[in-house]
A and B are shown apart, each in its own frame.
Chain A
């Protein structure tokens, strides 16, 4: 187990290093300068600007400085916001994104699990079909379409919930629903298959034969075993949340990291793009690692080994 974790940890570091280098060199390839007034500047002024930000040095030196800075947790300085450090910029904006992400994944998986269990218990009834239908819609309809439609009908037409901004709990409801659709769909479908699988196994028959009530069979014996594999979908779900946060935060004007990222792309703010990319990758890699380790800890049937298969 320890060997496995160490091995995975080393892989994580390699992946992060590759991402950091890739991001750096790709950023260097982008045409255009980060200075919005570049056209109006004289060559001397441009030179001074570049020196200011260390852009006049050879790429190798810039790269070395960048990597050293990263190790210290320094992500560089934003070009667009009066020289604010990127780390500080991200820290200021991480709270709404995290709240939204946690709410979406929390409510999403719980609703998904409930839907999946119900449709597995009531297989091939209208309940099962409608829950499958919800799952297909949730998986298929792009979240920005869903967010836009919801914003128009619930926010504007009915006026039930605030349409924009981030000022209180009721402001989080619509974005959370829009983000949670995908987790609901994925967990519901996954849970249904797992639950049907488990309900057909011998120990369930045994529990029934011993006279356990159907509630007890479903929840005490069935659900516990069906839940384990659901952990594996948490990885893909995090990815979907990150993708989703970009558009959802933009649509609902939420001051989070996603919105910041989209803005940075449009104004060529290299260091913010790089910083956010690294933050996303870091969260992704760490969550995948945690999920894999958790899976091994919870399910004794999975044996983790560092050796070759």
Chain B
């Protein structure tokens, strides 16, 4: 029926220009790998939102301690266990930011009035009167620090190991593969716990423990890619021109692996954050007075019934960070992995 209604005027048609030289013309500016990937990430709304939220969280982590006016370990027993109170938001009745607390018998008390405190503690205070906002901000800093350090070590060890195994091949490769096979057979939980038992618990031992167990996936992926890439003509050309092995690996092969390496690193980050929080939660991670999100959740958990805010705030932030990093990692994988392209 649409056919009958539609009348297309003749002037909309014009003969095509048959010029062979124009057939090969490129209509739009060509994009390199990174520009193309950026276009893809921009189309992925979830990843984009996650990047923005993550930036905000990072800003909060570094600016927070400066604007709160309290130190991480500043104790004051006159203001212990205050609930959260934020200016402006305190007048919104359904938000828990009005400085009141519901007792177990159902009565509502304004703790700030009771203790005669005029100051606002945005996330409340803990059992020693320390400002929770400052501590959460500091905790995010530590979690991010551990995550990036673990990712970096993972990248260094995994990429080097994988590149060497893949590039040189032969007996060396099969030996190195056997080592990986044995190591990846050991559950990483066990390795991490043993490492932390032997070394003193702390940021460094957590990072080292994560690095020891985390690199095998990276090494496998890099090795497989190098095996494929080393047969390419440009490697042969480079070798014919007399370049050393290390130059070929680092100058020619690794830049071509950037996508795979970035994808793998991005998935290490949320893993490392989770493991740090997990270890701190079972009492093997950082210890007081250092505050990571894991230790804060562990502390808050002990008084969950009386002062739920002590656990809720760090828990919300670790969840936001984990969701964001997972979404960003997914987005980057979709953007960089040629197999995932639609």
Residues in chain A within 8 A of chain B (CB atoms): 11-12, 14-15, 18-19, 22-23, 26-27, 29-30, 136-137, 139-142, 144-145, 148-149, 151-152, 156, 239, 242-243, 246-247, 250-251, 262, 265-266, 273, 277, 280-281, 284-285, 288, 308
Contact = CB atoms under 8 A, between A and B. Distances in A.
Contacts of B282: 246-247, 250, 262, 265
Interface in B308-322: 308, 311-312, 315, 318-319, 322
Given A26-B194, A137-B323, A247 B281 contact: yes
A43 B190 CA distance: 34
Contacts of B198: 26, 29-30
Nearest to A258: B282
A14 B187 contact: no
Given A19-B185, A26-B197, A273-B197, 9 more contacts: A14-B182, A22-B186, A26-B195, A137-B319, A140-B322, A142-B322, A152-B305, A262-B282, A265-B193
B297 A239 contact: no
A30 B197 contact: yes
A308 B178 CA distance: 12
Nearest to A148: B301
Interface string B184-204: 011111100111011000000
Given A11-B185, A136-B323, A137-B323, A281 B190 contact: yes
Contact of A277 (B190, B195, B327): B190
A109 to B, nearest CB: 20
18 contacts: A11-B185, A12-B185, A15-B182, A15-B185, A19-B186, A26-B195, A136-B326, A137-B319, A142-B278, A145-B315, A149-B312, A149-B315, A152-B311, A239-B188, A239-B189, A242-B187, A243-B189, A280-B190
Contact of B318 (A26, A136, A145): A145
Contacts of B195: 26
A307 to B, nearest CB: 12
Contacts of B277: 142, 144
Which of B189, B274, B312, B319 has the most A CB atoms < 10 Å from its CB? B189
A223 B270 CA distance: 31
Nearest to A277: B190
Contact of A265 (B187, B197, B281): B197
Contact of A266 (B186, B283, B312): B283
Given A26-B198, A148-B315, A11 B181 contact: yes
Interface string B238-272: 00000000000000000000000000000000100
A119 B64 CA distance: 40
Nearest to B298: A144
B223 to A, nearest CB: 12
Rank and list the top 3 A-B pairs by shortest CB-CB distance, nearest first: A15-B185, A140-B322, A140-B323
A253 to B, nearest CB: 13
B297 A156 contact: no
B287 interface: no
B174 interface: yes
Contacts, number: 109
Contact of B182 (A11, A144, A308): A11
Interface residues of B, number: 37
Nearest to A285: B185
A142 B318 contact: yes
Contacts of B189: 239, 242-243, 246, 280
B174 A308 contact: yes
A243 B326 contact: no
B187 A144 contact: no
A254 to B, nearest CB: 14
B284 interface: yes
A69 to B, nearest CB: 19
Nearest to B283: A266
Which of A144, A262, A266 has the most B CB atoms < 10 Å from its CB? A144
Contact of A19 (B190, B281, B284, B304): B190
B318 A281 contact: no
Nearest to A149: B315
A262 B283 contact: yes
A281 B186 CA distance: 6
A144 B185 CA distance: 26
A288 B185 CA distance: 8
B291 to A, nearest CB: 16
Contacts of B301: 144, 148, 251
Interface string B48-73: 00000000000000000000000000
A27 B196 CA distance: 11
A58 B212 CA distance: 29
Interface string B311-341: 1100100110011011100000000000000
B187 A280 contact: yes
Contacts of A137: 319, 323
